[in-house]
Structure 1
Amino acid sequence: MVAAKVGVLLPKSGDYSSIGTQMEDVIRLANDHMGGRMTLVFRDAHGDTESTVTALEELVIDEGCVAILGPLIKTDVMAAAETAQALGVPLVALSHAKRPTDAGEFVFRGFMPIRQQIEALVSHAMDNEGLRTFGVMFPDTGFGTHAAESFQAAVEARGGSVVVSVGYSPEATDFRSDAKRLGGKDYTARAAEYARLQRDAEEKGMDPSKVVLPPSVELDGIFIPDSWKRVGLVASALAYEEFAIGDFRPHRHAQRVALLGLNAWNNPGIVENGGGYVQKSVFVDAFSPAASRPGVENFVESHRSVLKRAPGVLDALVWDATHLVGEAVLAAGPDRAAVRDELKEVKLASPVAGGGHFGEDREVARDLLVLTVAGDSIREWQPPALDPTPSETP
């Protein structure tokens, strides 16, 4: 039986060529893992929309590919999606770009959109930890604004509330003024309270100039859609402004405020960078090499053995997407419409990134991991152990 041709659109030149090479290696490894059931045909898609469309047309018309994996770069994705729909070839986009599936029924997405992460995070925060009232500190970028707005919508849909939202410059390194705004610290309106706190400090032999007003808003959690490198700085500013985060308590009766994030927090560097301020913080991701999911251990071992590096979430997402296409092609044969139909039905037994099938919206229905900083490592979140109830003496 001749292996069906599957086209792959990845950046092989330009600024993202290193990521394209990384993804190509994973796709080849995944195909080998499936016994080479696909003949892979690679083409360059580096952000030039016209050349990407031309490459896609060549893959379908000249090469006879029955499905397409990619592209990656968001400027390429919608043009590729519309072209694939017009040509009647299934395309599984490997991108976070907004809703490529809107192009039509031949277009799927194999990556993890932001709204999927936010839905999982909010579900956990409100259903598992009982948080109801939130603040948001976000970078004032397109991504940060979109994440903040999506978070608020998800919280309000579940009956919670976002009572304060503060944007900050993406170039900032000192976030104390932003943390002060989050806490509603109007030193003019609260002058009498501030003077009293300074007098109390002086009476206790403390430096009154170091006194800060406590936050005037009560929050259960603070959402920070930024990278792990920035989170430590933001957390430090929040602690300075007397938010009770991580292991820090401004006073012994302070109630902990949970820090919440997305998969950009999932890096071991957050532990050292954030110190005690990020302990017990919670974030979501599709993959962790230490996850207890079936198939993860073998995936990590083969990755290290063949590619000589540890896999990350990008590798895991591409691995699962390649397996979804491979399973569909095996079942459908050379008919493109049949491949499309099989993509809607295929189910992976052991997806390493939590996404074993496509939902009705042709997005991967993904079961995300909830992760937390615990001591000197990142671990899967576990509910607090309950104290055993003593049995009554008969």
Structure 2
Amino acid sequence: MRRRFDLLTVLGLLFCLAACASAAVPPPPPPAAGGDEAAALYEKAEAYYRNNFQGKALQHYVIVIERYPNSAPAPACLFKAARLYQEKNSPDKAVYYYEMLVSRFPDNPYAVEAHYEMGVCRQQLRQYESAVTALNYYLSINNTKHADQAHLALADCYEALQRYADALPQYAAGAKNLDRAAQVEILKDVRILIDEHLGGPDLLTLLPRMADGTVVDFTRYRAAQYLVKENRRADAAKLLRQINFAKPQYKFYEKAEQLLQTAEAPAPRTAEAAPPAAREAAKPLAPAPSEIKAAIGVLLPLSGDRAVFGREVLHGLMQGSELFGAGQGAAFRIVIRDTQGDPAVAAKLVNELADDPGVLAIVGPLLSSCAKSAAIEAEKRGITLITLTTRENILDHGFFVFRNFLTASEQVKALIRYATMNQGAFRFAVLYPDNTRGRLYRDLFSQNLDSTRYRLVASVGYNPNETDFRGAVQQLNAHGQIHALFIPDNSRQVALLAPQLVYYGLKDVMLLGINSWNTDELARKAGSYLSRSVFVDGFFAHSTANGEVAPFVQQYQDSFHQPPSFLAAIGYDTAHLVARALGGHGELDREGFRRELLKVHDLSGVTGEMTVGEDREIQRHLYLLRVGGERIEELF
């Protein structure tokens, strides 16, 4: 997990450089203080850098270091030479000069910051133990400039070393002074860390080591959840009372407050403790259709050339509403309307459904072309709209618009997280079709790759109908070593491209792909060339890791005589979301439904475990898949 912090801003604080003409370099005399000559050379170096002649600046810094190693400018020259090597993506050379600085001038102010920069370089070199040593030393010093970044870098290193219990306190220390947007990103990483690596007992042990702030409050909340499950309600209440509820900026504070009320309430009698007759009476019964009051509107293209996609979503919704609605005591009617794939029709239908007071929310539209007009009308009418669209900015339209779908940005973030954290990739490139979709993925990859920690060395486009990729591959080869190559294209083009990557010399590179790679035909055509490939999708019908999938696939095939697609799966899970928001709350109005939907957290689904985020995006962990020799396979 990586955070987007500007680790290079120190250049603006530490470098104040200007340009002059260069001078011939005589053989170095014995080490001396250097006096005026060392100062003059240093001023030349500063001048060169200010005028963007980094090579000349570096040369003159090194002259001072070699000819006048004990001169007054020597510490600054060592530090700035190292920083220039960092800019040149040579962290090994940067470490050489940082180590020289801290050994020769341990008390110099530059030496203090050198320990931090050395830790960052060691991290880039994947020398995590050495990075931990340098960063811990830096943090032992008072009043350093980059303590927050050092804590977060240290958390990254501990995670790379699988020392997860050491990583969590570093997140807490690094996040406490950040702005809200940065803290949201840290909380996402912390949630993944806790979900995947730390249990309730671990959290209880770690809490005393954690700095106060948002991360420790979230950890208290997750530890209290564990205590409640263990029937230690008094301990949970005591822990939750330590949370600062005065300024709740994040969604989990509301949930923590509700958990506190639960923990402080008298323990309810369990169903097992009740008499058999009472247990039988408590079982939910599916109500008769006439008794069902709650209705959910559905807007899908059910005619025209996109009707096949609309029907797939509808089949999933129907199966899900039967299982999670009537079958679990949260029955709702589905009011189906055909958008015909027309934005104007979609907007009109939103208003028609909003005129029916029994309709609490609307699912759809499916097409991006219809999503914006529908969202605008839903916001005007104050009715929840759960969109099924990839349109990137659809959630900007207000408080009533949600999304449950697979987006390009979600895929890019998952791929970057896997390549950096699980595979240690550092140098990336993008090979993309030069069309609207390809350029979108190119831009999202550049925006989401942390440029302070990783390098995007090349972005090369090609004609979407290209069959000869020699020129594009040669452009990539010109940029040197590439650890991971992102190819956001369809499976047909990837099958043509993959053999040419190897033929033209781009070998031993991890290939990253998108959900349109998810066809067994790609494995049969080019599987031998894609053994190091990884891509993501929102659904995998052959998943063995997700126990929800196999029963859903079997029931869907029995009902509709075909295997379910991602669209059917997203329809099914959307019905589950609706049922969870409706269930157990009596009669809700539209605002009540919206509030209950926002509370949905860790809901099991065939597309993954779902949580409704503060931004009204339904969040989930995507399936990581690989191209096998004959078929697509689940990575983990």
Q: What TM-score, normalized by structure 1, do the two folds share?
A: 0.83
1:57 lines up with 2:351 in the alignment: yes
Q: Distance in 1 between matches of 2:603 and 2:550?
A: 15
* 2:309 corresponding residue in structure 1: 19
Q: How does 1:287-298 map to 2 (within 5 A)?
A: 287-291=539-543, 292-298=545-551
Deviations 1:105-153 (A, max 9, x none): 1110010111111101100000000011011110111111010111122
Instruction: Answer whether contact 2:577 2:600 (CA < 8 A) is retained.
Output: yes
Partner amino acid for 1:142? Answer: T
Q: How does 1:354-369 map to 2 (within 5 A)?
A: 354-369=608-623
* 1:236 corresponding residue in structure 2: 499
1:320 lines up with 2:573 in the alignment: yes
* 1:165 corresponding residue in structure 2: 459
Partner amino acid for 2:547? Answer: P
1:9 lines up with 2:299 in the alignment: yes
Q: How does 1:222-371 map to 2 (within 5 A)?
A: 222-244=485-507, 256-291=508-543, 292-332=545-585, 333-347=587-601, 349-371=603-625
Deviations 1:76-124 (A, max 9, x none): 1011111111101111001111221111111100101111111011000
Q: Distance in 1 between matches of 2:340 and 2:485?
A: 37
Instruction: Answer whether contact 2:527 2:627 (CA < 8 A) is retained.
Output: no
Deviations 1:290-312 (A, max 9, x none): 22112111111111111111112
Deviations 1:144-177 (A, max 9, x none): 1010111122223572111011111112222222
The answer for unaligned runs of 5 or more in structure 1 is 185-215, 245-255, 383-394
Q: Distance in 2 between matches of 1:347 and 1:110?
A: 14
1:120 lines up with 2:414 in the alignment: yes
Residue 373 of structure 1, CA deviation: 2.0
Instruction: Answer whether contact 1:331 1:342 (CA < 8 A) is retained.
Output: no
Deviations 1:330-356 (A, max 9, x none): 345340000000110123642110142
Partner amino acid for 1:61? Answer: D
Instruction: Answer whether contact 2:411 2:537 (CA < 8 A) is retained.
Output: yes
Number of equivalenced pairs:
340
Q: Distance in 2 between matches of 1:157 and 1:315?
A: 38
Q: Which moved more, 1:283-292 or 1:118-127?
A: 283-292
Give the superposed CA RMSD. 1.6
- Cα distance change on mapping 1:35 and 1:363 into 2, 3 Å: closer
Q: Distance in 2 between matches of 1:262 and 1:84?
A: 31
Residue 237 of structure 1, CA deviation: 1.8
Deviations 1:235-264 (A, max 9, x none): 1221121111xxxxxxxxxxx111110111
Q: Distance in 1 between matches of 2:382 and 2:584?
A: 18
Partner amino acid for 1:144? Answer: G
- Cα distance change on mapping 1:25 and 1:175 into 2, 3 Å: same
Partner amino acid for 1:34? Answer: F
Q: Distance in 2 between matches of 1:101 and 1:349?
A: 21
Partner amino acid for 1:91? Answer: L
Instruction: Answer whether contact 2:490 2:516 (CA < 8 A) is retained.
Output: yes
1:33 lines up with 2:323 in the alignment: yes
Q: Which has the larger radius of gyration?
A: 2
Q: Distance in 2 between matches of 1:353 and 1:14?
A: 27
Partner amino acid for 2:559? Answer: V
* 2:434 corresponding residue in structure 1: 140
User: What SS does the aligned partner of 2:428 have?
Assistant: strand
* 2:470 corresponding residue in structure 1: 176
Say which structure, 1 or 2, has more relative contact order (CA 8 Å, 6+ apart).
1
Instruction: Answer whether contact 1:46 1:73 (CA < 8 A) is retained.
Output: no
Instruction: Answer whether contact 2:428 2:455 (CA < 8 A) is retained.
Output: yes
Q: Distance in 2 between matches of 1:34 and 1:46?
A: 28
Partner amino acid for 1:282? Answer: V
Q: Distance in 2 between matches of 1:158 and 1:315?
A: 40
User: What SS does the aligned partner of 1:162 have?
Assistant: strand
Q: Distance in 1 between matches of 2:376 and 2:533?
A: 40
1:378 lines up with 2:626 in the alignment: no
Partner amino acid for 1:11? Answer: P
Q: Distance in 1 between matches of 2:375 and 2:578?
A: 16
Q: Which has the higher strand share?
A: 1
Partner amino acid for 1:236? Answer: P
Instruction: Answer whether contact 2:509 2:532 (CA < 8 A) is retained.
Output: no
- Cα distance change on mapping 1:350 and 1:379 into 2, 3 Å: same
Residue 219 of structure 1, CA deviation: 0.4
Deviations 1:173-232 (A, max 9, x none): 222222222222xxxxxxxxxxxxxxxxxxxxxxxxxxxxxxx51100110001111111
Q: Distance in 2 between matches of 1:40 and 1:20?
A: 14
Instruction: Answer whether contact 1:324 1:348 (CA < 8 A) is retained.
Output: no
Q: Distance in 2 between matches of 1:4 and 1:64?
A: 6
Instruction: Answer whether contact 2:313 2:570 (CA < 8 A) is retained.
Output: no
Q: Which runs of 4+ in 1 moved over 6 A?
A: none
Instruction: Answer whether contact 1:34 1:326 (CA < 8 A) is retained.
Output: yes
Q: Distance in 2 between matches of 1:41 and 1:319?
A: 16
- Cα distance change on mapping 1:74 and 1:64 into 2, 3 Å: same
Q: Distance in 1 between matches of 2:404 and 2:531?
A: 32
Instruction: Answer whether contact 1:77 1:100 (CA < 8 A) is retained.
Output: yes
Q: Distance in 1 between matches of 2:318 and 2:293?
A: 14
* 1:129 corresponding residue in structure 2: 423
Instruction: Answer whether contact 1:324 1:357 (CA < 8 A) is retained.
Output: no
Deviations 1:349-372 (A, max 9, x none): 421101422111111111111111
* 1:83 corresponding residue in structure 2: 377
Deviations 1:4-56 (A, max 9, x none): 11100000122211111121111111111124411111111133222111111
Deviations 1:277-329 (A, max 9, x none): 11131011121122211211111111111111111222222211221012213
Q: Distance in 2 between matches of 1:73 and 1:155?
A: 29
Instruction: Answer whether contact 2:573 2:606 (CA < 8 A) is retained.
Output: yes
User: What SS does the aligned partner of 1:284 have?
Assistant: strand
Partner amino acid for 2:525? Answer: N
Partner amino acid for 2:567? Answer: L
Partner amino acid for 1:283? Answer: F
* 1:106 corresponding residue in structure 2: 400
User: What SS does the aligned partner of 1:34 have?
Assistant: helix
Q: Which has the higher helix share?
A: 2
